[in-house]
Structure 1
């Protein structure tokens, strides 16, 4: 088949399974309706056993581990000890990155913690590794992610590329510049090949207009990953105002269910795909 006649394969990958029960419920509903093809599990979710049991309802869904250093409590005692001044909980991504870069938290501490998170999720075949808030893009952690992927025979990892969408505010400019540098370093050091990533430019608040503009640039015959964050909002569990300003869980849920996105798939000959 000529390349220009081939469909575009799209892995619709929902991050944050196990983040909050309401978020997991939305992910499961979309999976049952075949609106997403993969999800990344937070291995330190406080109700992980229940969430893993619920995944049995959608055996066709690809699962991976959403490696975490910035939300909730660690699984290993050694990591909890290192975080004593943060009440034994993971701090913000910025603070955790600073602790790693200054040697307050060692790579071996993270290796053991991430192994524990992966082991906690091994009721299903692990198809991919990525991380909460992209902290694995730090070069020292990207190397560790590759090591773990080899140890656990995981074929796919996420290489987060920034999207330079206009208009861009100062905070976005700084974030994209840092992420671009990390991406270049990791590509040069490790020669890694991954599926091109969509969704970072509107992370947490995907819109139909954004998807239409991005889909128009995709190459026939290629496989892409769309990062998304659908779910339900439950004020009894989700009390962090920063999260509510960043995420529109229910907006993404409606978008992925909508007839409009189905029309975009048809227009650009996009097929929902898996990590094969």
Structure 2
């Protein structure tokens, strides 16, 4: 007999905004969403964790390196990750800084570990990790995230397919999706986890 397949429908960005949180929680309550990933320093993260826990929604951590969120680690200890105490504005800003050597690996490790710790401080029983805007797929960042997942014994969610964008209508998103899709397919996975 073949093993049963379990479909996981995950909603990203829990904790980013109360209205987004409400939509995620409703989708869970109504039966489609089975887990969510938390932006641990998001403006509504503390409330979102409590609401998710109250209705039995599984929560992972959506490791963030962009979107101008406040850093989780002390700002002076992650200056190359969050130059002004906030994460970089966009995936492109972070990718450029990382790929040109402006971000120190040990500061990246410190910030991502602090985000996981923050989620747990808020009361989340973290059951997996993934990356906001798929920045965990970047060479070097990937190994940091895999190391964190291995140390903590947490599965890591990897995108096997990314949404397509039109090169004519939206060349920026199309470039991002293409680059990330190539990175997702080419880098070897250290340990099997959530796919």
TM-score computed with the length of structure 2 as normaliser: 0.83
Aligned to 2:32: 35
Please report how far the alpha carbon of residue 175 of structure 1 lies from its aligned counterpart in structure 2 after TM superposition.
3.3
Q: Is the 8 A contact 1:41 1:63 kept in 2?
A: yes
Distance 2:77 2:91 in 1: 15
Is the 2:61–2:116 Cα contact (8 Å) retained in structure 1?
yes
1:151–1:163 CA distance, 2 compared to 1 (3 A): closer
Query: How far, CA to CA, are the matches of 1:88 and 1:184 in structure 2?
Result: 30
Name the structure 2 match of 1:146. 146
Compared CA separation, residues 88 and 36, structure 1 to 2 (3 A):
closer
Equivalenced residue count is 187
Distance 2:174 2:49 in 1: 38
2:161 corresponds in structure 1 to 162
Instruction: Note if contact 2:78-2:107 (Cα within 8 Å) is conserved in structure 1.
Output: no
Note closer, same or farther for the CA distance 1:30–1:180 as it changes in structure 2 (3 Å cut): closer
2:119 matched residue in structure 1 = 121
Please identify, of 74-83 and 20-29, the stretch whose mean Cα deviation from structure 2 is larger.
Answer: 74-83
1:78 aligns with 2:76: yes
Contact 1:73 1:90 in 2 (8 A): no
2:39–2:62: 8 Å Cα contact kept in structure 1? yes
Alignment of 1:108 with 2:106, yes or no, is yes
Q: Give matches, 1:231-242, under 5 Å.
A: none
Gapped regions of structure 1 (runs ≥ 5)? 197-276
Answer whether contact 2:17 2:43 (CA < 8 A) is retained. no
Evaluate the alpha carbon distance shift between residue 186 and residue 33 of structure 1 in structure 2; reply closer, same or farther with a 3 A threshold. same
Equivalent position of 2:47 in the other structure: 50
Maintained 8 Å contact 1:40/1:130: yes
State the shift of 1:102 in Å: 1.6
Find 1:64's aligned residue among 60, 67, 79.
60
- Rg comparison, structure with higher value: 1
CA contact (8 A) 2:10 2:35 kept: yes
Q: 1:10 aligns to what SS in structure 2?
A: coil
TM-score, normalised to structure 1, is 0.60
> Is 1:99–2:97 an aligned residue pair?
yes
